[in-house]
Amino acid sequence: MNRNHSILINSVLLAVISFAFWSCKDDENAVANRNWKLVWSDDFNGVAGQSPDAANWTYDLGTGNNGWGNQELQYYTDRPENIALDGVGNLAITARRESFGGSGFTSARIKTQGLFDQAYGRFEARIKLPWGPGIWPAFWMLGNDINDVSWPQCGEIDIMEYRGQQPNLVHGTVHGPGYSGGAAITKSFGFTDNRFDVDFHVFAIEWGADYVDYYVDNTLYQRITPEDVPGEWVYDHPFFIILNVAVGGNFVGFPTSQTPFPQTMLVDYVKVYKEAN
C-alpha cells in the first residue's frame, strides 16, 4: 500500500469516527439545548406570612383517611404555620410536631389541580430540603384524569422524593398500572460530599411523548422510556403539580428522637416550559 493511499484511508476513517462522535454529541445537545418557552411559574414573592397565590395553588387537607395511602402521620392544613411565603422570595412548607385533628403532626400539601396542568415540557423547582428521619418532602405530579380512572392508572411522576434520614440522596420515580408502589420504576441521585439540606438545588424533568428525563441541577441522571416499564405507558396526557412535606409513611418510617421539629422545605420557584418550536 503506498503512503498516499494510507493517508487517504486514515483520513476517511478519522472523518467517519469524528462524524459518529459528533452525531452522538449532537443528539445529546439536541436534548439539552431545546428551545424552551416559559408558560407557567410562581416565584413566591410577597410579604411574610402570606398564603401562596390562590390562582396557582389549591390544598389537600386532612389525613386522607388512611395517611394518603402511605401510612403518613401528618394532618395537612392551610394555616400559615404550615404554609406561607417567607418574605424573601420563598414558599415555606413546615412540618410541626403538635396535636391537631387527631394527628401528632401537621404539615401542608398544595397542588395545581383544576388550575394548571400540562402534557410534556420541562417542569422544574428550586428547593432547599429539610433533614431528619421520618421527613418526606416531594415535588411530583399526577395525571389530571385521576378522578376518572384512579391511581395508578392516571400515572404519577415523582420529580423529586427525599428521605430525611439520607440528606445526600434524592429519588426520581414513575408509578403506573403494573409498576406502582414498591414496584415503581426509580433511580437515585446522590452527592458524596454535599447534602440537599444545606443549599438550594434545581430538580427537573424534561418530558416528551416517549421519555421522561430526570435532572438535578444540570445533571441528567435518568431517562425512562416505554421500554423501561412493565405495564402501560400512561404519560400521554396533562399532569398537575404537587408540593408537600409528609411526616412518616412507608417510604421513610417514623420520626425518631433525632428528628428535630419544626422542619421546613423552602421553594424558591416552580417553572413550567414548553418547546417553543
Catalytic positions: 156, 161
**Host H or E run for residue 11:** helix 3-32
Residues 6+ positions from 185 with CB-CB distance below 8 Å: 173, 174, 179, 224, 228, 229
Cα atoms in the Cβ-side hemisphere of radius 13 Å centred on 166: 15
For the record, the C-alpha cell of 116 comes out as: 394548571
Handedness of CA 227, 233, 236, 240 (dihedral sign): negative
Cα atoms in the Cβ-side hemisphere of radius 13 Å centred on 259: 24
Task: Report the first-to-last Cα separation within the chain, whole angstroms.
Answer: 51
Handedness of CA 166, 190, 91, 240 (dihedral sign): negative
CB 57 within 8 A of CB 270: no
For the record, the C-alpha cell of 205 comes out as: 424533568
Among 130, 266, 125, which Cα is nearest to 202's?
125
C-alpha–C-alpha distance, residues 244 and 200, integer Å? 16
Cα distances from 94 to residues 103, 110, 133, in angstroms, run: 15, 12, 15
